[in-house]
Amino acid sequence: MPKLSYKGLTFDTLEGEKVLDAFLRQGISIPFSCRDGVCHSCKQLAESGSIPAAAQKGLSENQRMQGYFLPCLCVPAEDMTILSPQEARLFTATLLQRKQFPERDRCRLLLEPTLSQACQPGQFINLRRADGMARSYAIVNDPAAEYFLEVQVPRVADEPFSQWVFEQLAEGDELEIQGPYAEAAAVLVRPAQAAARPKDPPPDMELWQALQNGKLLMEILQDFYGQVYKDELLSPYFHGITMQRSIEKVYSFFQQVMTGQKCYFGDRPRNAHHWMVISDDTFKYREALMIECQRRAGLPEEMIRRWIAIEAYYRQDIVKSAPWNRVVGGVELPLDGFGEMILDAGSICDGCGRAVEAGETVRYHSRIGSMYCGQCNGQAVMSGN
């Protein structure tokens, strides 16, 4: 079976095993969400070894040429050496050579071309200042031909990075640079904390009554999740969760929000979706599917509008470009990770399928609960040993 090398570890894969599953079996944490090539959050870089075409589903041509692939779709055909995007593209120091203002609200920055990879106009770089705040900007020139790298920064009202560029950044100052990338990073820093708002919108008993005190709500959710669990885009987000469980949780949540009664005891939307990479387009796609189910059930348009407004209230807790940590009691918990335990009852290893007896020590993934026996997660060796 092909071997994988990653961050000093080298280990065998199992027959037909995907790279992500091999990583999990070995206790290696990388970002992942949908596990089906939809969200691209598990993207890694192959330093050596061929990449199956299916493992580059949805990636841009530039990313494919650079060797990026999706471990959740990749069944290796030969040995592979894999780098994380962070290893492949570290921030490096650069100096601001010149700062010009071709227009009142546009600043031209000429930077030392310190990136190790060739850059082309139209690609993007990330600039980062000393406090960690960063933004993406398009490359304007060919650095190899002109011995500097040019980006142009527009002034954006109430946007601190552009204000800093215009008012404080000076020629000769050092900042950090990363890239190049085919696309701009959607979010590089967390936005300033918004003013406190109620955790839920006001109750809407009229909507609850239009939903026949929950009867019609249940019918709509059963129709909706019946489609979601068959949908190519949405179903990967429910890996390992039964449809009935999803319906029950969402029903209880909406009952609490619409009536004000305390009847939901699960995670709040931010924590419940913390690991899911959900784009604006995916959120809208799900919303359109829900509206179809509401109309099919005969819910009046005004009541549909109110329901969708409730879902939109939690949009900022759901839509994001990368997973974020769960927050419990004001404390951020690790996004992913592994623990060990001694089984008090027999089970089956999620890696190799071996029966695991009570009393054996196993490793488990803290988020998804996958469990791996000592035989299949103990094959890794340090490179060079």
Over the stretch 54-106, which tens digit does the pLDDT of each residue have?
Answer: 999 988 787 788 788 999 999 999 999 998 876 666 677 889 999 999 999 99
pLDDT on residue 331: 62
Confidence of residue 338 (pLDDT cuts 50, 70, 90): confident
Confidence of residue 351 (pLDDT cuts 50, 70, 90): confident
Nearest 10 degrees: Cα torsion 65, 69, 75, 77: 30
**Mean predicted lDDT score pLDDT of the chain:** 86
State percent of the chain over pLDDT 70: 89
The predicted model scores a pTM of: 0.57
The residue type of 173 is D
Contact 313, 269 (CB under 8 A): no
CA angle, 50 as apex, 45 and 54 as ends, to 5°? 80
Partners of 127 in the β-ladder: 135, 177
Higher pLDDT, 350 or 87: 350
> What is the side-by-side order of every strand in the sheet holding 68-69?
68-69, 44-48, 80-83, 3-6, 9-12, 381-382
Residue 182, pLDDT > 90, answer: no
Contact 83, 4 (CB under 8 A): no
Residue 115, pLDDT > 70, answer: yes
List phi, psi (to 5°) of 282.
Answer: -65, -40
pLDDT on residue 119: 85
Q: How far apart are the first and last CA of the chain?
A: 20
Half-sphere exposure of 21 (CA within 13 A, CB side): 18
Please report, for residues 5, 25, 88, 243, 385, the alpha-carbon distance to residue 10 in angstroms, rounded to integers and kept in the order given: 4, 13, 18, 38, 10
Tell me, rounded to whole angstroms, the distance of Cα 382 from its chain centroid: 29
List phi, psi (to 5°) of 162.
Answer: -65, -35
